[in-house]
């Protein structure tokens, strides 16, 4: 398989080789593909999690189990602040 790279991509590969972290351009490409695969798995997992959450939300809405908009926004903001504090710890 022949792959065409942009000058910027070629420069990045050269920088990685000069850093000594990789011995060949094939190693750089293999690592990039491995990271892409991992990213794709994480994305698909995220999509599935959110599909499940949406399904639960629709079911709750159908049953009339709704939350006031202001309360919902407050909960979202609280979750964001909690995650921000956790990442800083």
28-74 per-position pLDDT tens digit? 999 999 999 999 999 999 999 999 999 999 999 999 999 889 999 99
Q: Is residue 15 part of a domain?
A: yes
Q: Give the Å distances, CA to CA, from 76 to 15, 68, 79, 80.
A: 42, 13, 5, 6
Q: Is residue 82 part of a domain?
A: yes
Domain count, the chain: 1
CA distance 44 to 37: 11
pTM: 0.65
Q: Which residue range is the domain that position 36 belongs to?
A: 7-88
- 7 or 86, higher pLDDT: 7
Q: Is residue 2 part of a domain?
A: no
CB-based contact 32:21 (threshold 8 Å): no
Q: Is residue 1 part of a domain?
A: no
């Amino acid at each position: 398989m022949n792959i065409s790279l942009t000058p910027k991509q070629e420069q990045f590969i050269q920088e990685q080789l000069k850093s000594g972290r990789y011995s060949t351009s094939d190693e750089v490409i293999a690592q990039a593909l491995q990271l892409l695969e991992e990213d794709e798995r994480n994305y698909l997992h995220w999509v599935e999690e959110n599909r499940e959450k949406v399904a639960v939300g629709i079911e709750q809405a159908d049953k009339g189990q709704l939350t006031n908009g202001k309360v919902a926004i407050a909960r979202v903001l609280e979750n964001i602040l909690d995650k921000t504090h956790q990442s800083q710890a």
